[in-house]
Amino acid sequence: MSRRLYPADPILVIDDEESILLSVDTILQLAGMNNLLTCSDSRQAMAIIKQRSPSVVLLDLNMPHVDGEAILDQITSQNQHIPIIIITGRIDAETAVECMKSGAFDYIVKPVDENRLIASVKKSLQYGALRQENLPLKDQLPASSLKHPEAFKSIITNSPKMLLLFTYVESTAQTSEPVLVRGETGTGKELIARAIHQLSGNSGQFVAINVAGLDDNVFSDTLFGHVKGAFTGADSDRRGLIERAAHGTLFLDEIGDLSPSSQIKLLRLLQEKEYMPLGQDSNRLSTARIIASTHVDLWNLQQKELFRQDLHYRLRTHRIILPPLRERKEDLGVLVDHFVECASLTLKKKTPRIPQELLPLLEAYTFPGNIRELQAMVFDAIAQNNNGILPLTVFRNHISRAAQLEGIKHHTGDRNAGIPITFADPLPTIKQATRLLVEEAMHRAGNNQSTAASLLGISQQALSKRLKNLE
């Protein structure tokens, strides 16, 4: 009688060190995983994968002939459903984390720890099985039209990126698995969460909470509730948000700021679908779907041990990354029109004419606050409108203040907010640098001097003088 193979598809180990191959093979065989392939020549790796798609790939980074990063790129571009575990020396741990951002599932530092290896491979197998279940959902992505466009009516866009994202939202909305929405501040993460809830067909309500800054006690009481007498001042039972979101959706905003102890409680909720109100000894069943959002990179927090790896994997069963406004500038026109109408109605003013210089000015701006920032700019301009024309000075002043603020951050040493300039060697002269800066501003502004002056933080007269001097 033939021996049953587990997993059904082989685990592929790619490493040029025979001792590592033997060690990994032995550890996994003893753990009950007997379907393994090993490869000591990196040049043969892709041929093996094409011949038989593996369930998991364990990949060394530093190998002769073809290095691990090149193989990672090839695998992720051709077989995105295969989980990849990076095997690396201690000196390359930072590189391994970068590989995870490029599509790797996990990394293990040499010498290989037995328990760490087994746990990582088991998680990879579970993740791979889930991805396989979701492949039919992704087949729906090329659809040219949305089945339920009404769910996205609150999101104003003509961007192909956003429309493709909507099709993915439609395909995953009716599953019960968690969703992680990542995007910069002001990109519309809660709007996407509400669209998912509407498409889910769940009968319960949508309940949202920002968990940033909540200590563990407040988090537990807010989410799970308490019974009478649980603590001093608990004079009656209190329903938690989990109960309020029963058969609906619980949206946890800014999940990256959750405290470590609260992360453990949330992980149990996701794993067991159970929770315990404060002061109660028995568990209650949760029927709420969890959607979480963050503006930070959870991979970086995980590397710094500020966010639990297992919770991260649980949250990101379905992952949605919202593009910032600077990557969907084709939406500027429709967004401005929409906000002008909304602001005029709210402020009870006649809808003003939009000057043709406005869009080139906005297209040259990076919008660190994204759509929320644009909305605030338009509302401020409508409030100051007195002659029937949307005042450009409001937008120019806002952009100039933003440029000055970025300059202050850069000057005070805030490298995360600094101006991204790479200086040549040797350094350009002041005259050369000025010419390049002015030419770039004029290019971005479509040769509009007023717009270019706003980008440079100077008056139009000063820019005009500089242009004459450069000529």
Q: Is pLDDT of 371 > 80?
A: yes
Q: Is pLDDT of 162 > 80?
A: yes
d(Cα 274, Cα 282) in Å, to the nearest integer? 10
The β-bridge relationship of strands 179-182 and 318-321 is parallel
d(Cα 188, Cα 206) in Å, to the nearest integer? 16
What's residue 406's pLDDT?
A: 64
* DSSP character at residue 318: E
**Of the given ranges (92-96, 139-143, 365-369), which has the lowest mean pLDDT?**
139-143
Instruction: For the chain, give the mean pLDDT.
Output: 85
Q: Is pLDDT of 338 > 50?
A: yes
Q: Is pLDDT of 300 > 90?
A: no
* Cβ partners under 8 Å of residue 48, min gap 6: 12, 37, 39
Q: Strand, coil or helix: what is 240? A: coil
Q: Specify the residue for token string 């968690």.
A: 178
pLDDT digits (tens, 9 = 90+) for 63-84: 988 988 889 888 877 776 788 9
The β-bridge relationship of strands 238-239 and 225-226 is antiparallel
Token readout for 131 is 């991805």
What's residue 142's pLDDT?
A: 43
**Of the given ranges (19-23, 316-320, 438-442), which has the lowest mean pLDDT?**
438-442
| Alpha-carbon dihedral sign for residues 307, 310, 314, 317 | positive
The larger pLDDT score, comparing residue 92 to residue 375, is at 375
Q: Is pLDDT of 415 > 50?
A: no
What's residue 411's pLDDT?
A: 47
What's residue 81's pLDDT?
A: 74
Q: Is pLDDT of 418 > 60?
A: no
Q: What is the mean pLDDT of residues 383-390?
A: 87
Can you list the domains of the chain with their CATH numbers? 11-138 (3.40.50.2300), 149-323 (3.40.50.300), 327-470 (no CATH)
Name the band, by pLDDT with cuts 50, 70 and 90, for residue 290: very high
pLDDT digits (tens, 9 = 90+) for 15-63: 999 999 999 999 999 999 999 999 999 999 999 998 888 999 999 988 9
Q: Is pLDDT of 226 > 70?
A: yes
Q: What is the mean pLDDT of residues 237-256?
A: 93
Name the band, by pLDDT with cuts 50, 70 and 90, for residue 359: confident
One-letter amino acid at 387 equals N
Contacts for 145-151: CB closer than 8 Å, 24+ residues apart: 146/170, 148/199, 151/195, 151/198, 151/199
